[in-house]
Amino acid sequence: MQAAEPANEAKVKECFQFAPEMTRDARKDGGEEQSEPSCTLSVKQISYTVSERVGPWWDLPSYRKRWTRQILNDVSFHINSGQIMGILGNSGSGKTTLLDAISGRIGHQGTLLGEVFINGRKLKREEYQDCFSYVLQSDNLLSYLTVEETLTYTAQLALRKHTAKAIKKKVAAVMAELSLCHVAHSVVGGRIFPGISGGERRRVSIASQLLQDPRVILLDEPTTGLDSMTANQIVVLLAELARRNRVVIVTIHQPRSELFRVFSRIAIMSCGELVFCGQPEEMVSFFSQCGYECPEYCNPFDIYVDFTSVDTRSIEREKATLNRMHEITSAYQRSDIYQRMLRKIEQSLQQEEKPAIPFKSKESPNGAVKLEVLLRRTARNLSRDRMGVLMRLFQNLIYGLFVAFFLMRLDDDVTKGAVQDRIGIIYQCIGASPYTGMLNAVALFPALRAISDQESQDGLYSKWQMFLAYIFHSLPLSILSVFIFTSFLYWTVGMHPDSLRFLCFSAVVLVPHIVGELLTVVLLGVVQDPNMVNTGVALLNIAGILVGSGFLRSTQDMPVVFQWLSYLTFQKYGCELLIVTEFHELDFKCNSSRFLPGSCVITQGSQIIDEGYPGALSRYTLDFVLLYAFLPALLLLGMISFKIRDKLIRH
Ligand SMILES: Nc1ncnc2c1ncn2[C@@H]1O[C@H](COP(=O)(O)OP(=O)(O)OP(=O)(O)O)[C@@H](O)[C@H]1O
């Protein structure tokens, strides 16, 4: 099949006569006509299959059976630097999976076959992320930072050898390249916080990638959700980026017909197959020769995607449209366009002097510097959330107000609840403070986790470094919040009036609060759904109180297995410590006018310690050490959890 004919060229002109003249075509500038392309990307026979269960879990016989689903089928193409390729196709046709496969971000669930070559050199799997920049469909930007700050922190994470001045220059250059200078000092914003526009956000995402000077940029639906004018501007901008000696591949839904002149290559996908890949003019002539003309004044992108899509609304339609799709795919594979492309791949693989693989700038700083940058970035971003900071600082205090209002003032008279009320306060302090920690983590960490998933795939840092940065940033706030809470509660309700005991009390209550937050973040490493983590931490806390506190059932009376389990709970050490802190050397009164048999048996706090927590006084220091040992243990567990996440989540 011939690629282009004069008659068809006339048709092309006719078809797009309404399209305004674009500035300059990336293709004409640096594409086919470029004599010595500095970078070539060849994708050879990429196939991806996944094994899926046939039915839902509630239909056990079909759930047990599996079938193999072909997501990508033998996809090959070749593109040079200076060119921009648009991948079109209906929803579910495999566009995103193709980009994931090319960039090495595909999950472990399926079987990936095929090879990717840069400058004719085969890429190893571990080299993918050092070679490609990938702008995801949903941008995860830090909302309270300005555009300039966002890019500066990214540059600090990516570029070690650069001085502060060089980083500033680099950020300014990238902002100029992406026309972001006018919003440099504007806050990025997000769903609940207004900031820059959607189009500007996309450009910030692209700018973040450009900081590492990638030669191959992949973008998944960068125009989704944007109005058509902004979408056009983004694609024209991408074409300009391509013209500066880069390969740009972009998946796109419903591009406007004007963009016909902007793309150097158009690929159309359907059901995981590459139905067509060639120059836009070749596309029109190819489809015409197949008998599928683009009607006058119609957008060829829409028309050709429609021709190649499978309509599943009825079995008859599905059969007919699937046949049509296969017919067009076979015609493409027999065409000169396809054969020429295969020859280019072979030429590129067989050239004698293959240029080196152009990796992204790999001058990332050492782990400690990355952690420091992440810590500064997280602290600056979250500290600008005024309501968030206020809630964080005063949530414990608000809870303390409830308790204080309920109890008013502790009494020394055992007949007026001197023992019961004190135990109640200790129970509330140990039982409730993990929840406030958990709520903080569930509200704040998932957004940071999404950012770290993306940035760790870009090779900027490891996921566990974001985990540590979040925990370290939260420590001063947690300490302050607990101190405000205990300062109020301790003195208002009238606990043991001794400053040292107050400090010990605060130091003990701090741990469950931090453990609640830490445990939640640790679980968020391996469990994606924050609601499940929420429930899990709440249940663990309840179980810990039941087994460890000794309030609901005396530890000595519990079965041996629970006694052993209690040693694994921070509640055991926390409760023992608070009981000793409050009851040691405390004398009670007994109001004889309300005398009930047995009510005046307890006259000293030490009786409570000896009966309920024998030996707790002598274990005071050890209990403190064991209680605080939960913090480094959970930090370690968190690092392991986020290393597991590296394996579980590809992006
Ligand atoms: N790991 C996987 N397991 C099972 N199915 C998968 C997996 N990855 C992708 N798919 C399926 O493959 C098909 C192609 O998905 P993909 O996201 O690549 O489509 P797309 O063309 O990008 O769609 P859209 O335009 O809607 O984003 C979808 O039906 C998707 O459900």
pLDDT tens, position by position, 338-384: 999 999 999 888 887 877 777 776 666 688 889 999 999 999 999 99
Among protein residues, the one whose CA lies closest to atom 17 of ligand 1: 96
Determine the distance from the C-alpha atom of residue 277 to the mean position of all C-alpha atoms in its chain, rounded to a whole number: 32
Binning pLDDT at 50, 70 and 90, where does residue 452 land?
A: very high
Per-residue pLDDT at 8 exceeds 80: no
Which ligand 1 atom sits closest to the C-alpha of 94?
Answer: 18
Distance CA 462, CA 645 (A): 10
pLDDT digits (tens, 9 = 90+) for 247-288: 999 998 777 777 878 899 999 999 999 999 999 888 888 988
Per-residue pLDDT at 609 exceeds 60: yes
pLDDT digits (tens, 9 = 90+) for 453-477: 988 888 889 999 999 999 999 999 9
Among protein residues, the one whose CA lies closest to atom 26 of ligand 1: 91
The verdict on pTM exceeding 0.90 is no
Q: Calculate how far, in angstroms, residue 563's C-alpha sits from the geometric centre of ligand 1.
A: 50
**Residue 257, pLDDT score:** 78
Question: Ligand 1: which of 54, 70, 71 to mutate, most ligand atoms within 8 Å of CB?
Answer: 71
Tokens read off for 455: 């940035």
Which candidate, 602, 641, 417, 649, places its Cα nearest to that of 522?
Answer: 641
Among protein residues, the one whose CA lies closest to atom 28 of ligand 1: 92
In one-letter notation, the amino acid at residue 471 is I
- Whole-number average pLDDT of the chain: 86
Q: Find the radius of gyration of the CA atoms of the chain.
A: 32
Q: Calculate how far, in angstroms, residue 83's C-alpha sits from the geometric centre of ligand 1.
A: 26
Per-residue pLDDT at 9 exceeds 70: no
Which ligand 1 atom sits closest to the C-alpha of 137?
Answer: 27
Among protein residues, the one whose CA lies closest to atom 20 of ligand 1: 92
Which ligand 1 atom sits closest to the C-alpha of 100?
Answer: 18
DSSP code of residue 495 = -
Which ligand 1 atom sits closest to the C-alpha of 109?
Answer: 1
Which candidate, 537, 531, 546, places its Cα nearest to that of 518?
Answer: 537
Q: Which of 1-10, 284-293, 334-343, 393-402 has the lowest mean pLDDT?
A: 1-10
**Residue 316, pLDDT score:** 86
pLDDT digits (tens, 9 = 90+) for 225-239: 778 788 888 888 899
The neighbour count for residue 554, using CB atoms within 10 Å, is: 11
Among protein residues, the one whose CA lies closest to atom 29 of ligand 1: 92
Q: Calculate how far, in angstroms, residue 92's C-alpha sits from the geometric centre of ligand 1.
A: 5
Among protein residues, the one whose CA lies closest to atom 16 of ligand 1: 94
**Residue 365, pLDDT score:** 66
254: left (phi over 0), alpha (psi -120 to 50) or beta: left
Q: Calculate how far, in angstroms, residue 97's C-alpha sits from the geometric centre of ligand 1.
A: 6
Q: Which residues line ligand 1 (CB under 6 A)?
A: 50, 52, 71, 89, 91-97, 107, 109-110
Domain ranges of the chain: 6-137+221-350, 367-648
Q: Any idea which residue has 């079965």 for tokens?
A: 559
Overall average pLDDT of the 46-75 stretch: 90
**Residue 39, pLDDT score:** 86
Q: Calculate how far, in angstroms, residue 101's C-alpha sits from the geometric centre of ligand 1.
A: 12
Which candidate, 131, 44, 117, places its Cα nearest to that of 351?
Answer: 117
Percent of the residues in the chain that have a pLDDT greater than 70, as a whole number: 91
**Residue 361, pLDDT score:** 65
Overall average pLDDT of the 479-503 stretch: 94
pLDDT digits (tens, 9 = 90+) for 146-203: 999 999 999 998 876 678 888 899 899 999 888 899 999 999 987 777 889 888 888 8
Overall average pLDDT of the 382-403 stretch: 91
Question: Ligand 1: which of 95, 102, 221, 310 to mutate, most ligand atoms within 8 Å of CB?
Answer: 95
Pairing of strands 216-220, 247-251: parallel
Q: Calculate how far, in angstroms, residue 273's C-alpha sits from the geometric centre of ligand 1.
A: 13
Overall average pLDDT of the 207-219 stretch: 89
Greater confidence, 492 or 212? 492
Indicate the burial class of 542 (C-beta count within 10 angstroms; 0-12, 13-18, 19 or more). exposed
Residue 36 CB contacts under 8 Å (≥ 6 apart), including other chains: none
**Residue 12, pLDDT score:** 41
Tokens read off for 231: 């979408």
Q: Calculate how far, in angstroms, residue 93's C-alpha sits from the geometric centre of ligand 1.
A: 7
The CATH architecture annotation of domain 6-137+221-350 reads: 3-Layer(aba) Sandwich (3.40)
- ipTM given for this complex: 0.96
**Residue 220, pLDDT score:** 92
Percent of the residues in the chain that have a pLDDT greater than 90, as a whole number: 47
Q: 492-528 as b/e, with b when 16 or more CB fall inside 10 Å?
A: bbebbeeeebbebbbbbbbbbbbbbbbbbbbbbbeee
**Residue 298, pLDDT score:** 80
The angle subtended at Cα 617 by Cα 611 and Cα 622, nearest 5°, is 125
Q: In Å, what is the CA distance from 358 to each residue of 128, 213, 240, 592?
A: 11, 10, 19, 89
**Residue 258, pLDDT score:** 78
Length of the chain: 651
Ranges 284-288, 595-599, 618-622, most confident: 618-622
The DSSP result for 602-649, as a single string, is --BHHHHHHHHSTTTTTTHHHHHHHHHHHHHHHHHHHHHHHHHHHHH-
**Residue 351, pLDDT score:** 82
Per-residue pLDDT at 623 exceeds 60: yes
pLDDT digits (tens, 9 = 90+) for 69-84: 899 999 999 999 899 9
Name the 3-class secondary structure at 58.
Answer: coil
Among protein residues, the one whose CA lies closest to atom 10 of ligand 1: 71
